[in-house]
Amino acid sequence: MKTRVEILCVGTELLSGKVNTHISYFSLVLKSIGLNIAREVTLPDDPVEIQQAVRSSMERSDILILSGGLGPTFDDLTREGVAGAVNRKLKLRAHLLKKIKDKFSRYQLPVSVNNKRQAAIIQGAKSLENLSGSAPGQLLVLERRNRLPLSLILLPGPFKELQPMLEKEVIPFLQKTYCRFLCRKTLVLHLAGIMESQVDDKLRPLLTRLSPGLECTILAGPACVDLYVTATSRHPSWGQGALDKIRRTLHGLFGNFIYGEGGDTLSSVVGDLLRRRRQTLAVAESCTGGLLSSRITSIPGSSEYFIGSIVAYSNSLKQKGLGVFKSTLNVYGAVSKECAREMADGVRKKMGATFGLAVTGVAGPSGGTPQKPVGLVYIALSGPRIEHLEKFVFPGDRANIQNRSTVYALNMLRLALALQKS
């Protein structure tokens, strides 16, 4: 039987424009002990909404984590909502009240009625110490016949109060109670140069015969696809073995489309390959307008292999800065394979780099013609005994076309480096 976890985030501000980053944090911390979040619910500071949502979550779940609404103000109503849902009273705990009073007297502040409310704990619950704020957390465990116990966990909203409470008290408790024997490992593979639907088609036969304990998800970004494979088992060695085996299968299936694992990005992989070979890169950009350089230089230490780039929007800069022939621009135009090739050669020579990588195209929305539509992009790579040139017609808007051009340019360089004898 799978342990079901639900998260309830309380706070009107989370439904009025504030971005909720807690869910992402919760999911990572829970994954570390093999638990997945089955559902997340965000609620306003409304005790009826809270009570109703807690009741319905309790029916479905084994672990219910609430965050927010434990503060001292009138709209902090999580305590009341949960107490109502479990039909229990709130009790003022003397030692907690004393702590709050002590804290306030240290700063010579009066203790209001509202501050006192923070010492109210649901009957039968354990209080969780708050190391950097005044509201304690609460942990209520309800035993159930023939089932895992139900845990209700109330945490404060501010991250710096919630984090130590969760990691020091709650996670060890959950691990002991629910995950004694369960071990989980994840493999993330990154692909480029292939579409989501193509990945899906190739993957489907494999998915139907996946071992129990293995789970596979496709995550598509713009021009990139990630594969997540998770192995859950009582035997740590099984999980690692299963992932090693499926990694080999996936490499057989997708070959060179796979560019990295885990925290790898196209820029970091290209950077590692260049650094290892002590080779350098120079870039010439037109329609990507600096985005390609920006991706490359987002990597710490990129100055080791990246010499620089020229973003040449004007034709005169293409001539003067990159050495594109005037006749090329006149006869073929700036968006042509001839121009792309001369840009790559030119920037390589000018900067004395091992490789020159160039992009020219029509990013739109204006500037397209029937012969050269918006989305037409040429990418050229020039290097020692290497010359690559590819033509693309990318879909989407300006940002999309610029982004795809960047991904495909980096991928062209990666493939060339991977095939090159080092």
* Contact flag: residue 308 with its own copies (CB under 8 A): yes
Closest CA to 14 of 59, 58, 75, 60: 75
Out of 228, 241, 251, 331, the only residue in the binding site for its own copies (CB under 8 A) is 228
Integer CA distances (angstroms), 256 to 192, 219, 377, 411, 417, in order: 9, 18, 22, 10, 12
- Whether 31 and 185 have beta carbons less than 8 Å apart is answered as no
How many residues bind its own copies, per CB under 8 A?
100
Q: Least separation, in Å, of the C-beta of 144 and its own copies?
A: 21
* Contact flag: residue 314 with its own copies (CB under 8 A): yes
User: Which range binds its own copies by CB under 8 A, 120-128, 176-184, 199-207, 238-246?
Assistant: 199-207
Q: Least separation, in Å, of the C-beta of 111 and its own copies?
A: 9
* Interface with its own copies in residues 135-194 (CB under 8 A): 160
Out of 95, 180, 204, 385, the only residue in the binding site for its own copies (CB under 8 A) is 204
Out of 123, 172, 301, 387, the only residue in the binding site for its own copies (CB under 8 A) is 301
Out of 32, 249, 303, 369, the only residue in the binding site for its own copies (CB under 8 A) is 303
- Whether 121 and 90 have beta carbons less than 8 Å apart is answered as yes
* Contact flag: residue 243 with its own copies (CB under 8 A): no
Tell me how far apart the alpha carbons of residues 166 and 128 are, in angstroms, rounded to a whole number.
Answer: 9
Tell me how far apart the alpha carbons of residues 187 and 216 are, in angstroms, rounded to a whole number.
Answer: 9
* Contact flag: residue 402 with its own copies (CB under 8 A): yes
* Residue type for position 71: G
* Contact flag: residue 200 with its own copies (CB under 8 A): yes
Q: Least separation, in Å, of the C-beta of 208 and its own copies?
A: 10
Out of 33, 72, 80, 256, the only residue in the binding site for its own copies (CB under 8 A) is 72
- Whether 404 and 394 have beta carbons less than 8 Å apart is answered as yes
C-alpha count within 13 angstroms, C-beta hemisphere, residue 157 = 24
Q: Least separation, in Å, of the C-beta of 409 and its own copies?
A: 13
Q: Least separation, in Å, of the C-beta of 95 and its own copies?
A: 20
Structure tokens at 389: 């040139």
* Interface with its own copies in residues 340-379 (CB under 8 A): 350-352, 364-367
Give yes or no for a cis peptide into 365 (omega within 30° of 0): yes
- What phi and psi values does residue 75 have, to the nearest 5 degrees? -95, 20
- Whether 21 and 13 have beta carbons less than 8 Å apart is answered as no
* Contact flag: residue 206 with its own copies (CB under 8 A): no
* Interface with its own copies in residues 91-110 (CB under 8 A): 103, 106-107, 109
User: Which range binds its own copies by CB under 8 A, 121-129, 172-180, 256-264, 287-295?
Assistant: 287-295
157: Cβ contacts below 8 Å, ≥ 6 apart: 10, 11, 67, 68, 69, 70, 71
Tell me how far apart the alpha carbons of residues 119 and 101 are, in angstroms, rounded to a whole number.
Answer: 10
* Interface with its own copies in residues 73-92 (CB under 8 A): 73-75
3-state secondary structure of 125: coil
314-344 burial string, b = 16+ CB within 10 Å, else e?
Answer: ebeebbebbebeeebbeeeebbbebbbbbbb
For its own copies, the closer CB: 89 or 391: 391
* Interface with its own copies in residues 30-69 (CB under 8 A): 31, 36-45, 49, 53, 56
* Contact flag: residue 418 with its own copies (CB under 8 A): no
Out of 78, 233, 293, 382, the only residue in the binding site for its own copies (CB under 8 A) is 293
Q: Least separation, in Å, of the C-beta of 26 and its own copies?
A: 9
Residue 281: its H or E element = strand 281-285
